[in-house]
Amino acid sequence: MSVSEALLRGSLAALIGFTFVGISLVILNWFERKMGGRIQSRYGPMHVGFHGILQTFADLLKLLQKEYIIPQGANKLLFIAAPFMVMVPAIFVFLVIPFGPDLYAFRFEYSLLFILSFPALTSFGILAAGWASNSKYSLVASLRTVGQMISYEIPRLLSALSIALMAGSFAIDTIVERQAYLWFVLLQPIAFLVFFFSSLAEANRMPFDFTWAESELVSGFFTEYTGMRWALFFLGEYGALVAACLVTALIFFGGWYGPILPSPIWLIVKAALLLVFSLWIRWTWPRLRIDQWMRFSWKVLTPLSIANLLLTAFLMHWLGVGA
């Protein structure tokens, strides 16, 4: 691939990626509100557009008009940069997500590693936001982020590793191709559970939304943010959630494989079902406490995923299958 081709592909992918992410986030936000309303026996948004479908656009317009407030004593540079540090890595993941056998922006051998490692950078953004805000609530939230990140990343990587081991490759499209007849979720249910819940933790979703924790930390690390800067955090987290569901669908649910419908549709349907599941959890379960989650992660999830990885390796060696 020449440099000009890479640039062309990159900018096209960025365009398509941002459009896709933007549209899916707006729809997802509306859907989440509607679903939350349904679960809580209320209507949700009803007034802007048909059944409130344009509500998110109205909210974004409102946020665009808001004043940007930088608190006294804040570190201005970090304060302004932090929303982008959260937003950009979350969106970057979409560059390597294949939506079909030949439908991707970039393909390379270690795309799974890229997908798993890049969103971890959002933690720096959150840390920066909490530190730069010069607010104690934000600071506590950002310190929690670090504790949370070191607890979920390891089981997440280990469970993904057992999938890579079974597929014999770190390339996502190879992993999907190996699932043409049998989804990996059936062979690796433990890895799926560990991976999915760690992904929820990565996207700061219920029951792991410690960095937000409105009951004790007001609004967590974005307490001091206003307007579009606040919205960027919001979009970044939604982006991380969408990416996490897409990746889970790809590596556990056979990605784009499915009868009749074209491949991207199948992938999006599978990811959407996982999204609905995560929203369902969000509107039903209470929040864990950060130390409980860390204990659970280190004492249960990590040993479980190591055992799962070893078992997978032994079984594959013993049965003489795989790479």
Nearer to another protein (CB atom), residue 173 or residue 237: 237
Shortest Cβ 35–another protein spacing (Å):
11
Residues in touch with another protein (CB under 8 A): 36, 39-42, 136-137, 140, 143-144, 206-207, 209-210, 213-218, 283-292
Q: Which of 299, 243, 296, 294 is nearest to 271 (CA)?
A: 243
| Token pair recorded at residue 55 | 């509500």
Omega before residue 98 within 30° of 0, cis: no
Q: Any idea what the Cα angle at residue 191 is, between residues 185 and 196, rounded to 5°?
A: 85
Could you tell me if 104 and 176 are in contact, meaning their C-beta atoms sit under 8 angstroms apart? Answer: no
Shortest Cβ 291–another protein spacing (Å):
7
| Token pair recorded at residue 10 | 């990159």
Measured in degrees and rounded to the nearest 5, phi and psi for residue 100 equal: -170, 175
Shortest Cβ 261–another protein spacing (Å):
34
From residue 251, how far is each of 61, 101, 269 by CA, in Å? 37, 14, 15
Shortest Cβ 233–another protein spacing (Å):
18
Shortest Cβ 96–another protein spacing (Å):
33
Nearer to another protein (CB atom), residue 130 or residue 255: 130
Nearer to another protein (CB atom), residue 286 or residue 320: 286
Half-sphere exposure of 18 (CA within 13 A, CB side): 8
Nearer to another protein (CB atom), residue 47 or residue 295: 295
Q: What is the CA radius of gyration of the chain?
A: 20
Nearer to another protein (CB atom), residue 44 or residue 254: 44
